[in-house]
Amino acid sequence: MAVGIFDSGLGGLTVLDAVQKRLPDVDLLYFADSAHAPYGVRDAENIYDLTRRAVYDLWNRGCDLVILACNTASAAALRRMQEEGVPEGKRVLGVFVPLIEALTERQWGDNSPPREVAVKHVALFATPATVSSRAFQRELAFRAIGVDVEAQACGGVVDAIEDGDMILAEALVRSHVDALKRKMPEPQAAILGCTHYPLMAETFQAALGSEVQVFSQGALVAESLADYLQRHPKMQGEGKGGFLTTGRPGTVSDRATQFLRRQITFDAA
C-alpha cells in the first residue's frame, strides 16, 4: 500500500518531489493520465469522469489515500467526489486547501469561521478550467473575508512545459502576467494554481516584481500531508510505489526525467 498522487500529466511531479523530500519513508504511487492531458481545456464533466476513473484505479491498487496533485482536477472533481461518497477507508484530498491555509496564515485543518487577513489583493494564475470553476475563490471564502482575487487563465503554458519548450513557456508566462497586471496593477500575493507552474516560479517572480509574494504548492502540500499522516497514520500503509501512465511509457519517462532532472521510469497503467 502506498499514498497515491494523481495528475493529468507531469505537473504533479513537483508535488511528488517535495513530498519525497519531506517524507522520504512514505511510498508514493504516481499516476499520470498523459493520454488525456492537458485537463485545463476540458469541460468539467469530462474532467470529473477522468479524475474519478484514475482515483478509483489508485484505490484499487491499494492506495487508501490519494492526493489530487492537479489543480484542475481538484477544482472540477474533488468536491463532487466527496459529496457523492468515498468508499469506506478511502480518502481523496486536493491541493487548494494547503495553499489557502498558507495564504490566510491558518494552521492545518483550522475550520474556524472566515476572518480578515493581511493580504487583500491576490493574483491567481491557473488553467482555463480552474479559473472558470471559481473553486479557489469558493474555498478561500470559507476561510477569509475581504480578499480581492483576480484570476488569469494561462492558456498554453502547460502544453509548452509538457513538450519541454521552456522558451515558449517563459514567453507565455510573461504575457499572462502582463495581462493580469492590466486588471490588478499591484497584487500583494500571487498563487501559482497549477502544479506545472513551480517550474516557472522564477519567471513569474521576475515578471511580477520582488515585492509580490509568490505561493506555489509543492512544499505546502508536502507539509500538509505530513500533518495529515501524523493524525491518520493508518492512511500511510505499506507497499511499493512507482510511476504509472495512460500514455506511452517510454515517451512519458523521457519527459519526466527531463522534468525532474533524475531518472524516472513509467509503466503502463
Query: Residue 185: is its pLDDT beyond 70?
Result: yes
pLDDT of residue 206: 98
User: Residue 242, by phi and psi: left (phi above 0), alpha (psi -120 to 50) or beta?
Assistant: left
**DSSP 3-state helix, strand, coil percentages of the chain (rounded to 5)?**
50, 15, 35
Query: Residue 239: is its pLDDT beyond 80?
Result: no
- What pairs with residue 66 in β-bridges? 4, 92
pLDDT of residue 109: 72
pLDDT of residue 108: 66
- Of the two residues 13 and 239, the one the predictor is more confident about is 13
Give the range with max mean pLDDT: 80-84, 96-100, 106-110.
80-84
Query: Residue 237: is its pLDDT beyond 70?
Result: no
Any residues with CB less than 8 A from the CB of 46 and at least 6 apart, and which?
none
Reported pTM: 0.91
pLDDT digits (tens, 9 = 90+) for 12-28: 999 999 999 999 999 99
Whether the Cβ atoms of residue 27 and residue 4 lie closer than 8 Å to each other: no
Q: How many CB atoms lie within 10 A of CB 182?
A: 10
Confidence of residue 238 (pLDDT cuts 50, 70, 90): low
Confidence of residue 111 (pLDDT cuts 50, 70, 90): confident
pLDDT of residue 259: 87
Residue from 133, 60, 121, 62 nearest 94 by CA: 133
pLDDT of residue 13: 96
Residue from 102, 37, 27, 100 nearest 72 by CA: 37
Across the chain, mean pLDDT equals 94
DSSP E strands: which ranges in 33-139?
65-68, 91-93, 115-116, 121-126
- Find the DSSP H helices in 61-200: 71-73, 79-84, 96-103, 128-133, 135-141, 157-162, 166-183
pLDDT digits (tens, 9 = 90+) for 136-171: 999 999 999 999 999 999 999 999 998 889 999 999
Report the C-alpha gap between 246 and 249 in whole angstroms.
Answer: 8
Residue from 11, 13, 220, 48 nearest 133 by CA: 48
Query: Residue 132: is its pLDDT beyond 80?
Result: yes
Q: How many CB atoms lie within 10 A of CB 71?
A: 35
Whether the Cβ atoms of residue 18 and residue 219 lie closer than 8 Å to each other: yes
Active site residues: 70, 194
Q: Which amino acid is at 256?
A: A
pLDDT of residue 92: 96
Query: Residue 87: is its pLDDT beyond 90?
Result: yes
